[in-house]
Amino acid sequence: MNNHSIYANEELKNWTERSGLLKQEQYLIEKYIRNEGILIEAGTGGGRISLEVHDKYPNIKIVAFDFVEEMIKSAKLKSNEINFEVHDASDLSIYDDNTFDAAIYLQQIVSLVPEEFISCVLKESYRVLKKDGIVIFSFLSYSGRKINLIVSFLVNILRILRKEKWQTQRLPWLKLSNKVNFKFFTKNQATTYWFYEKEIIKILEDIGFTIVETKCDNMIYVVCKK
Ligand SMILES: C[S@@+](CC[C@H](N)C(=O)[O-])C[C@H]1O[C@@H](n2cnc3c(N)ncnc32)[C@H](O)[C@@H]1O
């Protein structure tokens, strides 16, 4: 199982039926997004965040993409004023360098990416952003979920017994479609990557971003400037 298949199946309804913004999302969007220029949203799902941004800031041209076609089909039914497209965040070669004034990578899209592509996804976000452009990220926080220590220990003991690699911060889904995923400790489960704040800040700075603001609750929110 992989995250593409989870979002095309078990989590499809969950993310196409949502509306409104979370408190942190609203705070960051109101603070950093201006009613002008061109914005890209990565992992838009059913378009929830882009639809809210469009309502609030009708002058912004919005491109919103997701790698699950079914998500984009559902988003397109909600608005024809936003350009909803199917792309993988690791390959935005369809867009030139320095195209966008702002980017939104919320709801932990980067945590869903296989480890070997994380750097590529972040570099693509940097590449397509204009100089002084702003990007709002959120990441799953390893220390923001108390049971991670015990889950990680159990899952990794089983990985070792199966002669697999120990990966402390790469954990299987504990819930799917809002129900407990009892198979979470079995082989070949889809996983998500849970960051430490210092770790992700260093990765972003190494890529070239300037950190403008960070906020941590059970997620790590990071606003960066190119
Ligand atoms: C947690 S959902 C959030 C959906 C939407 N942003 C929202 O907040 O309502 C994460 C979304 O990221 C998408 N996604 C995951 N990995 C992706 C990738 N590599 N490229 C594009 N989309 C991706 C999933 O298909 C899913 O729709």
DSSP class per residue in 145-177:
STTHHHHHHHHHHHHHHTTPPP-TTEEE-SEET
* Per-residue confidence (pLDDT) for residue 162, from 0 to 100: 94
Q: How many CA atoms lie within 13 A of 203 on its CB side?
A: 19
Ligand 1 pocket test: pick from 15, 85, 86, 177 the residue with the most ligand atoms within 8 Å of its Cβ. 15
Nearest CA to ligand 1 atom 13: 43
Atom of ligand 1 nearest to the CA of 117: 19
Ligand 1 pocket test: pick from 18, 88, 105, 112 the residue with the most ligand atoms within 8 Å of its Cβ. 112
Do the Cβ atoms of 171 and 148 come closer than 8 Å? yes
Domain ranges of the chain: 3-143+193-225, 146-180
Exposed e or buried b per residue across 186-219, where buried means at least 16 C-beta atoms within 10 angstroms of its C-beta = eeebbbbbbbebeebbebbeeeebeeeeeeeeeb
Here the tokens at position 65 are 């993409």
Question: Can you give the pLDDT of all 226 residues of the chain as single tens digits?
Answer: 799 999 999 999 999 999 999 999 999 999 999 999 999 999 999 999 999 999 999 999 999 999 999 999 999 999 999 999 999 999 999 999 999 999 999 999 999 999 999 999 999 999 999 999 999 999 999 999 999 999 999 999 999 999 999 999 999 999 998 899 988 888 889 999 999 999 999 999 999 999 999 999 889 999 999 9
Give the CATH number of domain 3-143+193-225; options: 1.10.10.2160, 3.40.50.150, 3.40.50.300, 1.10.460.10: 3.40.50.150
Give the closest residue to 213 by CA, choosing from 124, 137, 132: 137
Q: Is the CB of 74 within 6 Å of ligand 1? A: no
Rounded CA separation 216/226 (Å): 21
In the chain the first and final C-alpha atoms are separated, in Å, by: 35
Q: Is the CB of 45 within 6 Å of ligand 1? A: yes
Position of tokens 């204009």?
Answer: 130
The verdict on pTM exceeding 0.95 is yes
Identify the helix (H) or strand (E) that includes residue 208. Answer: none
Q: Is the CB of 66 within 6 Å of ligand 1? A: yes
Distance 43 CA to ligand 1 centre (A): 3
SS3 133: strand
